[in-house]
Amino acid sequence: MTGHGLDVVPAAGWADHVAGLLVDRLAARPDLVVCLPTGSTPLPVYERLPGALAARGVSAGRATIVLLDEFLGLPAGHRARCDVVLGRSVVDRVQPARFIAFDVDALEPAAACAAFEAEVAAVGGLDLVVLGLGRNGHIGMNEPGSAPDAPTRVIELAPSTREAAIGYGVDPPPTHGVTLGMAGILAASEIWLLATGTAKAGILTLTLDGPVSPNVPASVLRGHPGLRVIADDAARPSA
Ligand code: PGA
């Protein structure tokens, strides 16, 4: 393992811990530009965030929230769409100044990626990217094989990602998505990699202690000086 921060927190307090860290960042920088993931891992954090903000008297009203990735082929408003999920779980609750997502309805996917990158650049780039850890080591939809310089782009989803989408209520699941690229993730000042539950312990161990390789895209984060890994004790990497 390299010199990044690794927080292992008891499962019962994990979500409050991460919500508290987000409030710290918003308190220090009210105009924070933060990219957030969907998936099941961060949902308990998002549930606690409004209360954690209120308890500390901190507002997200000047912040920009950026969506990490999006499925292709689902209609606007579909309940499994990432913009819908992040909208309901965070944006509606904390009312940031801006929500940057992928405009896959009005634009062709490649054009939606270009527009997304331009919008992120226009707000000064990402201060913080929060990531879930995929079962196959993906981050966002940067599936195994994604090089560190991979841009924001259209990507074919791996079988395990498609399977997970079935759990979100889409069957058959989408075959493709658009994602903030590896290069965009690595350009952020700070990266938090979240992992919870015993099902993530193996891939977290591989991420932190295996070879740094595009085969496990999350392993590439180890070269970033601002990486913080925040796991619960069930996902604790084995020694
Ligand atoms: P999960 O997904 O949070 O639902 O486990 C993580 C991911 O696949 O990115």
Q: How many domains does the chain have?
A: 1
Q: Is the CB of 132 under 6 A from ligand 1?
A: yes
Q: Is residue 198 part of a domain?
A: yes
Q: Is the CB of 40 under 6 A from ligand 1?
A: yes
Residue 171 appears among annotated catalytic residues: no
Q: Is the CB of 134 under 6 A from ligand 1?
A: yes
- pLDDT at site 1: 45
CATH of the domain at 46: 3.40.50.1360
Residue 136 appears among annotated catalytic residues: yes
Please check the confidence at residue 3 and state whether its pLDDT lies above 60: no
Q: Is residue 234 part of a domain?
A: no
Triad 85, 196, 211: Cα angle to 5° = 110
Q: Is residue 237 part of a domain?
A: no
Please check the confidence at residue 51 and state whether its pLDDT lies above 50: yes
Q: Is residue 105 part of a domain?
A: yes
Q: Is residue 131 part of a domain?
A: yes
Per-residue model confidence as pLDDT tens digits over 144-155? 999 999 999 999
Instruction: Give one word for 226, left, alpha or beta, with left for phi > 0 and alpha for psi -120 to 50.
Output: alpha
pTM: 0.97
Average pLDDT (90-111) is 98
Catalytic residue among 17, 136, 190, 215: 136
Please check the confidence at residue 238 and state whether its pLDDT lies above 90: no
**What is the residue-wise DSSP string for 40-87?**
STTHHHHHHHHHHHHHHT---TT-EEEE-EEESSPPTT-TT-HHHHHI
Residue 7 appears among annotated catalytic residues: no
Q: What is the spatial order of strands in the sheet that 33-36 belongs to?
A: 5-9, 227-232, 190-195, 128-132, 33-36, 64-67, 98-100
Q: Is residue 235 part of a domain?
A: no
Which residues on neighbouring strands pair with residue 71, listed in sequence order?
A: 177
Kindly indicate the confidence band of residue 192, based on its pLDDT and cuts at 50, 70 and 90.
very high
Q: Is residue 110 part of a domain?
A: yes
Catalytic residue among 127, 138, 142, 224: 138
Please check the confidence at residue 2 and state whether its pLDDT lies above 90: no
Q: Is residue 138 part of a domain?
A: yes
- pLDDT at site 193: 98
Domain that holds residue 18: 6-229
Residue 83: both structure tokens together? 């913009």
